[in-house]
Amino acid sequence: MALLEVKNIEKHFGDTQVLRDISFSLTEGQALAIIGSSGSGKTTLLRCLNFLETPDSGTIAVRDKVIFDAADPTTQLEGEVREKRLHFGLVFQNFNLFPQYTALQNVTLALHLRDEGNKHREAIDDRGRELLEQMGLADRAGHYPHQLSGGQQQRVAIARALALKPDILCFDEPTSALDPELTGEVLKVIRGLAEQKTTMIIVTHEMAFARDVADEVIFMDEGVIVEQGPAREVIGNPREERTRQFLSRYSET
Amino acid sequence: MEQFTTVIGALNVGFYQTLKLFFVTLLGSIPLGLVVSFGSMSRFAPLRWLTRTVVWVIRGTPLMLQLYIIFFIPGMVLPGGSPWPAGYSGRFLAASVAFIINYACYFSEIYRGGIQGVPAGQQEAGLVLGLTKRQIFFKVTLLQMVKRIVPPMSNEIITLVKDTSLATVISIQEIIWAGKAFLKSSHGYSGLMWPMFFTGVYFLAFSGVLTLLFDALEKKLDYFK
Ligand SMILES: Nc1ncnc2c1ncn2[C@@H]1O[C@H](COP(=O)(O)OP(=O)(O)O)[C@@H](O)[C@H]1O
Ligand SMILES: [Mg+2]
């Protein structure tokens, strides 16, 4: 059974069509990498999954339950969208940590706000510390974002997204805003999550990483899925000419 | 010595009017500025352009001229005559209205900068964590806006301290008016020059206190970037 089933998603911004007939599914415990050149619609796709953009048509189902149907406004009620979002977590390219909160507070804010009557205050803080420890940041819990390196900030952001136990964790180029020497620590953490069978969608330009860590790869170009298949095949031995061209540009640079 | 005490007494009375105008202006313009800033960011284009035009006119003309206009023009065009009550209280009311409108327009631009300066990613990060719009405003963006707003607000508020003296053009008896009165004659003295210059000490002391307060506030918000 597919954990996530995306069908026929289309998205326009004004007159330009950014996503065309996007369909794919994702099995629980798998990691899906999405590759493709800049402007191909990868970010928009992740934003659609997280209800930050509303697709013009198509459906999104999690565990066989349709949580979004462009043709059915009752699937888009504001109060419910807020809960449906929690199926997904999103790690942004530029972290978007809350600057006025410490690393620990960033991780636990949403949990505390959902904890009516503050009954589980300590348990939540413990969970936050545990997540930071898992990210290798046990000693940074009390630091504010501006006191952390980019790689550390991104790991806090990953812990923050994990805190709500999303079914599917999405990454939008999690290392693109980092200095090259800092990408390794973030990729290592994501690799660890894959080993623990976290269901993930990872938009990335790190081809070797995608090949080694992802189970499936989707190659997107100009808003369409050009090629989709097992990671080693798509990246190691692509069928489509456009994929081949894209990958060769990558191995050159 | 007796002269000094008398003059200080008179200056204190004037300074009380200065303070009154200062605080009334803040009390009115800080919230009104927020309303104006919402207007200038409205998604409804006519409202947005109307608000921005008003802000442009108010910021583009001297406050002194606005004081004259608000005090005199209504009486000239309204069929019922001047809406301002007769006497000093009417003049003070007119001055307050002019100051509040003027400062609300300046504050609105500061607020707009503060609100729009918070990156959209902050709101989005809150949304994907399942926070409500209300929670996002109060728990995520508000403090970041305040941090952006405090330095320009403190500049503007210290300018207001000095601007209050403009109200003398419609005979508000603020401190410079009180000091100048000793040139002609006041409290049995005449031809005294120094009381007018001495008012500067009041302005310096008051803006000094405000500077210290705002510096402390900025320091308090310095723990995050
Ligand atoms: N809010 C928006 N308004 C208009 N156009 C947009 C918006 N967001 C993205 N686009 C356009 O959609 C296309 C896909 O963008 P994006 O999803 O960010 O691509 P990618 O993440 O693959 O680089 C680009 O041409 C981009 O300019
Ligand atoms: Mg992108």
What does DSSP assign to residue B138?
I
* Whether the predicted interface score ipTM is above 0.90: yes
Q: Each residue of B160-181: pLDDT tens digit?
A: 999 999 999 999 999 999 999 9
pLDDT band at A252 (very low <50, low <70, confident <90, very high): low
Tokens 């191995």 sit at which residue?
A: A251
CA distance B164 to A30: 68
Confidence class of residue A79 from pLDDT cuts 50, 70 and 90? confident
Question: Relative to the CA of A45, which ligand 1 atom is closest?
Answer: 17
Are the C-beta atoms of A161 and B127 separated by less than 8 Å? no
The arithmetic mean of pLDDT across residues B15-36, rounded, is: 97
Q: pLDDT of B31-82, one tens digit each? A: 999 999 999 999 999 999 999 999 999 999 999 999 999 999 999 999 988 9
**CA neighbor of A47 nearest in space, from A22, A74, A66, A80:** A22
Cβ(A98) to ligand 1 under 6 A? no
> Does pLDDT of A58 surpass 90?
yes
**Identity of residue B186:** S
B122–A96: do the CB atoms touch at under 8 Å? yes
* Of residues B112, B153, B129, B139, the one with CA closest to residue A100: B139
Q: Can you give the pLDDT at residue B80?
A: 87
CATH number of the domain within which B95 lies: 1.10.3720.10
B116 CA → ligand 2 middle, Å: 22
CB B7 within 8 A of CB B192: yes
Residue B187 Cα to ligand 1 midpoint, Å, equals 74
Measure Cα distances from B70 to A194, B66, B81, B83 in Å.
69, 6, 13, 10
Specify the pTM.
0.90
Choosing from A13, A35, A50, A205 the residue with most ligand 1 atoms within 8 A of its CB, the one to mutate for a pocket test is A13
Q: What pLDDT score was predicted for residue A166?
A: 98
Span of B113-127, B181-195, B202-216 with lowest mean pLDDT: B181-195
- In this complex, is the C-beta atom of B169 within 8 Å of any C-beta atom belonging to chain A? no
Domain count, chain B: 1
Tell me the percentage of chain A whose pLDDT exceeds 90.
96
Give tens-digit pLDDT for B81-131: 899 999 999 999 999 999 999 999 999 999 999 999 999 999 999 999 999
- The confidence band for A1, taking pLDDT boundaries of 50, 70 and 90, is confident
According to the model, what pLDDT value does residue A249 have? 86
Q: What is the model's pLDDT at position A196? A: 96
Mean pLDDT of chain A, nearest integer: 96
Contact list, B223 vs chain A (CB under 8 Å)? 100, 144
What is the pLDDT confidence band of residue B1, given thresholds at 50, 70 and 90? confident
List beta partners, residue A216. A32, A230
Nearest residue in chain B measured CA to CA from A110: B129
The three-state (H, E, C) secondary structure of chain A, written as one string: CEEEEEEEEEEEECCEEEEEEEEEEEECCCEEEEECCCCCCHHHHHHHHCCCCCCCEEEEEECCEEEEECCCHHHHCHHHHHHHHHHEEEECCCCCCCCCCCHHHHHHHHHHHHCHHHCCHHHHHHHHHHHHHHCCCHHHCCCCHHHCCHHHHHHHHHHHHHHCCCCEEEEECCCCCCCHHHHHHHHHHHHHHHHCCCCEEEECCCHHHHHHHCCEEEEEECCEEEEEEEHHHHHHCCCCHHHHHHHHHHHHC
Alpha carbons A107 and A99: distance in angstroms, whole number: 12
Mean pLDDT rounded to a whole number for chain B? 96
User: Could you say which DSSP state residue B85 is in?
Assistant: P
| Residue span of the structural domain in which B128 resides | 2-224
Q: How far apart are CA A64 and CA A90, in angstroms?
A: 21
Q: Which atom of ligand 1 is nearest to the CA of A42?
A: 22
Ligand 1 atom 27, closest CA: A39
Chosen for mutation from A98, A143, A165 (greatest number of chain B CBs closer than 10 Å) is A98
Of residues A92, A160, A164, nearest to B121 (C-beta): A92
**DSSP H or E stretch at residue B194:** helix B194-220
